[in-house]
């Protein structure tokens, strides 16, 4: 067993120095952590934006069909309404997921 202060034990090498190196190796700096969080936030925002835009495009397409000069049967009208409703729920889900990701990483 070696005895000494921190600096002395590090200079001597051995198990103490190895454990110290393992414990403090490859720890990201504060700036590196902030960069990783920023990258994660950008990726999350991009994913949410894509998913929300996809759902909105579907809703807009359905609204365009339903406002066209074509007559829709009650069944077709119900299917379109159901599709718009489901897409709206999906938008809310994507927004909630994005909010949760942001809150977790603050």
Is residue 40 predicted with pLDDT exceeding 70?
yes
Domain contains 35? yes
Mean pLDDT score, 95-106:
77
Q: How many domains does the chain divide into?
A: 1
CA pair distance 34, 106, nearest whole angstrom: 10
pLDDT, greater one: 88 or 27: 88
Domain contains 48? yes
Q: Global pTM?
A: 0.55
CA pair distance 88, 81, nearest whole angstrom: 11
Q: What is the pLDDT, as a whole number, of residue 22? A: 72
Containing structural domain, residue 92: 29-104
Could you report the per-residue pLDDT of 20-38, keeping only the tens digit for each? 777 766 666 677 777 777 7
CA pair distance 20, 12, nearest whole angstrom: 12
């Amino acid at each position: 067993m070696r005895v000494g202060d921190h600096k002395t034990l590090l200079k001597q090498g051995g198990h103490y120095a190895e454990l110290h190196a393992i414990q403090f190796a490859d720890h990201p700096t504060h700036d590196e952590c902030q960069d990783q969080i920023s990258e994660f936030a950008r990726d999350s925002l991009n994913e949410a934006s894509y998913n929300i835009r996809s759902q909105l495009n579907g809703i807009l397409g359905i609204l365009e069909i339903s406002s066209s000069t074509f007559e829709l049967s009650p069944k077709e009208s119900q299917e379109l309404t159901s599709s718009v409703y489901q897409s709206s729920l999906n938008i809310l889900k994507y927004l909630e997921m994005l909010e949760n990701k942001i809150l977790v990483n603050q």
